Amino acid sequence: MRRMSFNNLFLTSMSVFLLITQPNIYAQVDTFEFDNDEQQGRFRQLSNELRCPMCQNTNLSGSTGGVAEDLRREIHRMILEGMSNEEIEQFMFERYGDFIFYRPRLRAETILLWFGPLLFLIIGGFIAYGIFRRANSVDRVTVDLDEEQEAKLNELVGK
Amino acid sequence: MIPELGQFSLILALCLSILLGTIPIVGAEKSNALWMSLARPLAAGVFVFLAVSLVLLAYAFVTDDFSVQIVAAQSNSLLPMRYKITALWGGHEGSFLLWTFMLAGWMLAVSIYSKSMPVQFVARVLGVLGVLCVCYILFMLATSNPFDRVTPLPPVDGSDLNTALQDFGFIVHPPTLYMGYVGFSVVFAFAIAALLSGRLDSAWARWSRPWANVAWAILTIGIALGSWWAYYELGWGGWWAWDPVENPPLITWLFGTALIHSLAVTEKRGVFKSWTVLLAILAFAGSLLGTFITRSGLLTSVHAFASDPTRGVFILGILLLTVGGALLLYAVRAPLMKSNLGFSLVSREIFLLINNVLLVVSAASIFLGTLFPMVYQALTDDLISIGPPYFNAIFVPLMIILVVFLGIGPMSRWKKTSMEYLIRQVSRVFLASLFLGLCLPLVILLEFSLAATICVSLASWILLTIGKDLKNKLANKPSLRSGLSSLSSSYVGMVLAHTGISVMLIGAGLTTYFSLERSILLGPGEQVELGSYAFIFNGHEEIRGPNYIGDRANISVLRNGSEIEALYPERRIYLASGTPSTEMAIDAGLLRDLFVTLGEEKEGGSWSMTVYVKPFVRWIWLGAIFMAMGGTIAAIDKRYRLLRRRKIEKSKEREVAADLAAT
Amino acid sequence: MPALFFIALGGLLWRGLYLDTRTLPSMLIDKQMPKFSLETIGGDIVTNEDLPEQIFLLNVWGSYCLPCLVEHPTFMRLSEEGEIPVVGINYKDRNDLAKGWLETNGNPFAYSIEDENGRFGIDLGVYGAPETYLVDSEGVIRYRHVSVLDETVWLEEFLPAIEELRLESN
């Protein structure tokens, strides 16, 4: 497929709704040869976890864009040359920056991202404890009101 | 002329919804019976005029009226009729009309199935929904009118519906998703009405529950349809991509799931009231946020509509008005809410609270991951990507913990359960699940894998605890039949939904870890082996469809030397737009899917293609079907219908009495 | 609390509406041009040594790329008026098509480096034609613009950047 320019892509994307960008539905099939299954697996993992820099939001393996094709070819070459995943990732970082990683690196700026869920869990725990406490402390105070409220409730519900 | 009538009808719907959004609410405040009684007819009116609008727009699509902008942009005279009609929601404007129409549909349903509720409450609920209608229709008329004409000259033919959308999935997925999404507006309206009345009690929870359950069931199906569609259409075997546009429905679904559980506690025990209201608001906020993200081009996504900041600002305004207003009202009213009953540290309430915390934390984390790139960019001026590796790393552990509690929760009792009792109940079940998790994958896959063990253990944990609970429940019943029929339908619903989780877990886990795929170049007569299957490429032929041309490959699949299936993957070029597309061939099965994606023709008549074996992938959507059935069955629980029947009986009695008096 | 959080979120979303999420910042700013030794369209071998020893533009183009045609007049004017040398990178193109394109539309480039398989583009962090790099006399990349460079972009982005570079070197 002839490479689509950035602006072209932008224009086509204007008409796109819901599922797929135009270049994307044209499913991509590479036939790289590897020395062993381990290399094949690494290739698949890397091209799944690296983002195509020119596309809307797809990884390298799911994209037919020109640059994605080139990058897959480069990954294939580097794997055959015996480079480690870290070296390949560094290669990508030096050229395309953090944008290319679907798994953001842990740095000062991404601490909130990686530990946010843990923070949420702690906050959630406190809120839950608050609800538990409140339910139990109110229990003793409003016990007298219960029947009246119950009657009212039953009337409301139509019992 | 017809499109103008459609627009006129839309304006009439706006006028009626303005009335609906004001008069009944004021009437409820002033206890004015006449004003309140206007709610139902006005809601029906809004529905009728929106329906007329929708039908007239569909008419423009059916009759190829390319003078209408969105028809020219999304349709084509060669398009098959089913896609001409559905092309209506193939773009922003039309799909928003559908969205608004769905809201009106829910509104009508509320006005019909609310006979047992006090007039005041119904007036407020419909009034709040009316306000939402006003917002949506104003948004349409101001920024995205579906009836806009092409000026000065209409094109001879339309530029065609995006080829990716010309598929069955496109017919069913958007309407279902919207219907589920919008359904949470109803629950939101119930919560607001309760806040307005200042009476947040079990009655409110009881009225809300069936609506929440149904909306949740439909949303489940809507999301599952999207996942299924992506799976067979995209051609790389994926069923969930954690795209910024997929995430809001999931966030809404998670809030919704927390909500239906919390509503149960509020109804049965009268606790968690303010928490439940907050969840109702959050679920609704999730659905609006989804709209905002899809329609404003805020985040880079494969799904996005045309990006347009004015639309974004408008939807943001709606978000601020509705959710902001709701939260403000909540801030004022929530402190007044009191729970009347306490519960101990080991009780069903606690387990449901844990369920809620885990669900809300997962939703919040997905929300964080979805919006973080934007925050990052605003602060550092640099771009960052957050994709599946992040979301899986966060979401999967949370779900594992959730499933562990999911097993225990239903066995615990309200108010107080003794720890020893619970341990006695589940200890053997726990060991059995571990045993199954260790053995089943070994037997089936002949290799040990931690992922498979965890996955199968969790799935059996759910099923075995359900089984144990059922056994306990039926133990004292005289016969199995009378025991089963004594189960309430909300219990049956829960059992089904939890079974669905178990089924989905198996599907998701095993597909993720045990799928096989191979990309290869095959000449005619050559074959590739994958697992215990062999795929033979028999050659290809040229094909011609109604609006496309292409090639079709003929592939036989062999297992143990005998042919089990023939697959015909295609590669198409759509004539109107010239876009190429691939149609993969799938042999679906309960235990595995086989599929082939066709690549390109290379020298010597050989073709590049990718072949896949995906074990248990169907179970993902099968699980969703179970869950949706569970939600629906729980919604039709006798408790909710009993009230109406009783009322009818009462009115009959009155009739009889009147007859007697007359004689 | 939830209400306050929500207002903050609203502000953030509003801000987000006006962010450009499509233009990747270049990783090579203030870095040396990557090493290369490639053929030009004409068939000569060029390396880093052959780059202009003054501030120049490096334009990534292709005969298939429509926006390149849009920015073409600006580059023609720049080279005709001798304002700044422009080196081309013919990115993922076919030699005959590229030559034909230059013949039809005019050739503003001192020379065009042929990058048929996009390998050099990867070293530069190119992700779609057209892109234009501003390189200083030391061969250090100082600025990148993605998509069409028209007269407005030239006046508003490149001229000030070049002015700054000139001041710096003096």
pLDDT for B144 = 87
Contacts for C118 with CB less than 8 Å, ≥ 6 apart = A66, A67, A70, C91, C92, C126
Quote the CA–CA distance of B89 and B70 in Å, as a whole number: 10
Band (pLDDT 50/70/90 cuts) for residue A155 is low
Q: Are both A57 and A40 inside the same structural domain?
A: yes
Six-digit token string for B226: 């999207």
pLDDT for B340 = 62
pLDDT in tens, C58-113: 999 999 988 999 999 999 999 999 899 999 999 999 999 999 999 999 999 999 99
Asked if C13 lies within 8 A of B316 by C-beta distance, the reply is yes
Write the residue in C7, C18, C25 that is nearest to B324 by C-beta.
Answer: C7
- How many angstroms separate the CA of residue A109 from the nearest CA in chain B? 8
What is the percent of chain A with per-residue pLDDT over 90, rounded to a whole number? 36
B372 touches chain C (CB under 8 A): no
Domain boundary among A64, A88, A105: A105
Contacts for B271 with CB less than 8 Å, ≥ 6 apart = A131, A135, B265, B339, B340, B341, B342, B343, B349
pLDDT for B444 = 75
Asked if C2 lies within 8 A of B377 by C-beta distance, the reply is no
Q: Are both A67 and A145 inside the same structural domain?
A: no
Band (pLDDT 50/70/90 cuts) for residue A12 is very low
The three-state DSSP-derived secondary structure of B346-360 is CCHHHHHHHHHHHHH
- Total domains in chain B come to 3
Residue A1 lies in a domain: no
Domain boundary among A66, A86, A105: A105
- How many angstroms separate the CA of residue A20 from the nearest CA in chain C? 17
CA-CA-CA-CA torsion sign (C16, C22, C23, C26): positive
Asked if A94 lies within 8 A of C92 by C-beta distance, the reply is no
Q: What residues of chain B lie within 8 A of the CB of C15, using their CB?
A: 378
Q: CA–CA distance from A111 to each of B8, B390, B499, C5, C76 (Å)?
A: 53, 13, 37, 20, 48
Write the residue in C2, C3, C10 that is nearest to B319 by C-beta.
Answer: C10
ipTM score assigned to the predicted complex: 0.88
Burial (0-12, 13-18, 19+ Cβ within 10 Å), C72: buried
A62: pLDDT strictly greater than 90: no
Asked if A66 lies within 8 A of C128 by C-beta distance, the reply is yes
A139: pLDDT strictly greater than 60: no
Amino acid at B212: A
Asked if B378 lies within 8 A of C12 by C-beta distance, the reply is yes
A132 touches chain B (CB under 8 A): yes
Residue A77 lies in a domain: yes
Residue A47 lies in a domain: yes
Cβ atoms of B635 and B209 closer than 8 Å: yes
Contacts for B508 with CB less than 8 Å, ≥ 6 apart = B455, B619, B620
- Closest Cα to residue C116, out of A92, A70, A54, A95? A70
- How many angstroms separate the CA of residue B374 from the nearest CA in chain C? 6
Q: Are both B554 and B659 inside the same structural domain?
A: no
Q: Are both B131 and B19 inside the same structural domain?
A: yes
Order of strands across the sheet with B607-615?
B516-522, B607-615, B592-601, B585-587
A118 touches chain B (CB under 8 A): no
Asked if C16 lies within 8 A of B378 by C-beta distance, the reply is yes
Q: Are both A43 and A31 inside the same structural domain?
A: yes
Dihedral (Cα; B400, B402, B405, B406), 10-degree rounding: -100
CB-facing half-sphere around the CA of A129: CA atoms within 13 A: 6
- Total domains in chain A come to 2
Identify the chains in contact with B, defined as 3+ C-beta pairs within 8 A.
A, C
Q: Are both A77 and A129 inside the same structural domain?
A: no
CA-CA-CA-CA torsion sign (B131, B133, B135, B137): negative
Q: What residues of chain B lie within 8 A of the CB of A31, using their CB?
A: 519-521, 599, 608
Residue A124 lies in a domain: yes
pLDDT for A154 = 62
B331 touches chain C (CB under 8 A): yes
Q: Are both A70 and A82 inside the same structural domain?
A: yes
Interface of C with B (CB under 8 A): 1-3, 6-7, 10, 12-19, 21-22, 24-25
Residue B322 lies in a domain: no
Write the residue in B323, B371, B377 that is nearest to C21 by C-beta.
Answer: B377
Band (pLDDT 50/70/90 cuts) for residue C115 is very high
Asked if B386 lies within 8 A of A128 by C-beta distance, the reply is no
Q: Are both A19 and A90 inside the same structural domain?
A: yes
SS3 state of residue B578: coil
pLDDT for B654 = 60
| CATH number, domain containing residue A79 | 1.10.8.640
Q: Are both B131 and B6 inside the same structural domain?
A: yes
- Closest Cα to residue B374, out of B284, B322, B300, B484? B300
Q: Are both B560 and B648 inside the same structural domain?
A: no
C24 touches chain A (CB under 8 A): yes
Asked if B300 lies within 8 A of A24 by C-beta distance, the reply is no
Quote the CA–CA distance of B592 and A136 in Å, as a whole number: 51
Residue B261 lies in a domain: no
Residue A30 lies in a domain: yes
Asked if B298 lies within 8 A of C3 by C-beta distance, the reply is no
Six-digit token string for B4: 């103008």
- How many angstroms separate the CA of residue C170 from the nearest CA in chain A? 31
B183 touches chain A (CB under 8 A): no
Best interface-test mutation with B: which of C4, C18, C20, C21 has the largest number of B CBs within 10 A? C21
Six-digit token string for B160: 């065609």
| Domains detected in chain C | 29-169 (3.40.30.10)
Q: Are both B18 and B146 inside the same structural domain?
A: yes
Residues in chain C: 170
Residue A130 lies in a domain: yes
Residue A38: give the domain boundaries: 6-105
Amino acid at B571: R
A142: pLDDT strictly greater than 50: no
Cross-strand bridge partners of residue B118: none
pLDDT for B346 = 83
pLDDT for A133 = 83
pLDDT in tens, C8-22: 888 888 888 888 777
Quote the CA–CA distance of B608 and B601 in Å, as a whole number: 7
Counting one residue from chain B and one from chain C, the pairs whose CB atoms sit within 8 A come to 60
Residue B62 lies in a domain: yes
Residue A74 lies in a domain: yes
Asked if C24 lies within 8 A of B309 by C-beta distance, the reply is no
Residue B186 lies in a domain: no
Q: Are both A10 and A52 inside the same structural domain?
A: yes
B155 touches chain C (CB under 8 A): no
Q: Are both A101 and A149 inside the same structural domain?
A: no
Asked if B313 lies within 8 A of C25 by C-beta distance, the reply is no
DSSP count for chain B of H helices, then E strands: 21, 10
Write the residue in A3, A7, A9 that is nearest to C92 by C-beta.
Answer: A3
Residue B407 lies in a domain: no
Q: CA–CA distance from C65 to each of C68, C97, C105 (Å)?
A: 5, 12, 13
Band (pLDDT 50/70/90 cuts) for residue A146 is low
Q: What residues of chain A lie within 8 A of the CB of B393, using their CB?
A: 103
Q: What residues of chain C lie within 8 A of the CB of B309, using their CB?
A: 17-18
Give, in degrees to the nearest 5, the angle at Cα B462 between B458 and B464. 110
Give, in degrees to the nearest 5, the angle at Cα B324 between B323 and B327. 85
Q: CA–CA distance from B579 to each of A26, B304, B576 (Å)?
A: 9, 19, 8
Interface list for B 242-271 with A (CB within 8 A): 243-245, 271
Domain boundary among B161, B182, B210: B161
B470 touches chain C (CB under 8 A): no
Neighbouring CB atoms inside 10 A of C37's CB total: 11
DSSP conformation class of B529: E
Asked if B340 lies within 8 A of A145 by C-beta distance, the reply is yes
Full DSSP string of chain A: -PPPPHHHHHHHHHT--TT--HHHHS--------SSHHHHHHHHHHHHHBB-TTSSS-BGGG---HHHHHHHHHHHHHHHTT--HHHHHHHHHHHHGGGGBSS----GGGHHHHHHHHHHHHHHHHHHHHHHHHHHHHHHHHGGGHHHHHHHHHHHHT-
Its pTM stands at: 0.90
Q: Are both A72 and A114 inside the same structural domain?
A: no
Six-digit token string for B441: 């994958």
Residue B424: give the domain boundaries: 418-509+623-663
Write the residue in A16, A132, A143 that is nearest to B353 by C-beta.
Answer: A132
DSSP conformation class of B417: -
Quote the CA–CA distance of B246 and B234 in Å, as a whole number: 15
A84: pLDDT strictly greater than 50: yes
Counting one residue from chain A and one from chain C, the pairs whose CB atoms sit within 8 A come to 73
A36 touches chain B (CB under 8 A): no
Quote the CA–CA distance of B84 and B69 in Å, as a whole number: 14
Q: Are both B437 and B524 inside the same structural domain?
A: no
Nearest CA in chain B to A59: B387
Asked if B368 lies within 8 A of A113 by C-beta distance, the reply is yes
pLDDT for B114 = 87
Quote the CA–CA distance of B554 and B418 in Å, as a whole number: 63
Domain boundary among A64, A80, A105: A105
Q: CA–CA distance from B110 to each of B30, B186, B320, B648 (Å)?
A: 22, 8, 25, 19
How would you label B216-230 residue by residue, b for 16+ Cβ within 10 Å and e otherwise?
bbbbbbbbbbbbbbb
Q: What residues of chain C lie within 8 A of the CB of A9, using their CB?
A: 128
Q: Are both B652 and B535 inside the same structural domain?
A: no
Residue B93 lies in a domain: yes
Nearest CA in chain C to B294: C17
Asked if C25 lies within 8 A of B381 by C-beta distance, the reply is yes
Quote the CA–CA distance of C20 and B299 in Å, as a whole number: 10
pLDDT block averages, 10 residues each, chain B of length 663: 92 95 91 90 96 96 92 90 92 92 96 89 94 95 91 84 86 94 94 88 88 95 93 81 89 96 88 89 91 75 63 88 91 75 83 94 95 88 91 94 91 84 88 91 80 92 93 82 82 94 93 86 90 91 89 92 90 82 88 89 85 92 96 81 56 58 52
Q: Are both A128 and A83 inside the same structural domain?
A: no
pLDDT in tens, C119-148: 999 999 998 889 999 999 889 999 999 989
C121 touches chain A (CB under 8 A): yes
Residue B316 lies in a domain: no
- How many angstroms separate the CA of residue C111 from the nearest CA in chain B? 33
Residue B195 lies in a domain: no
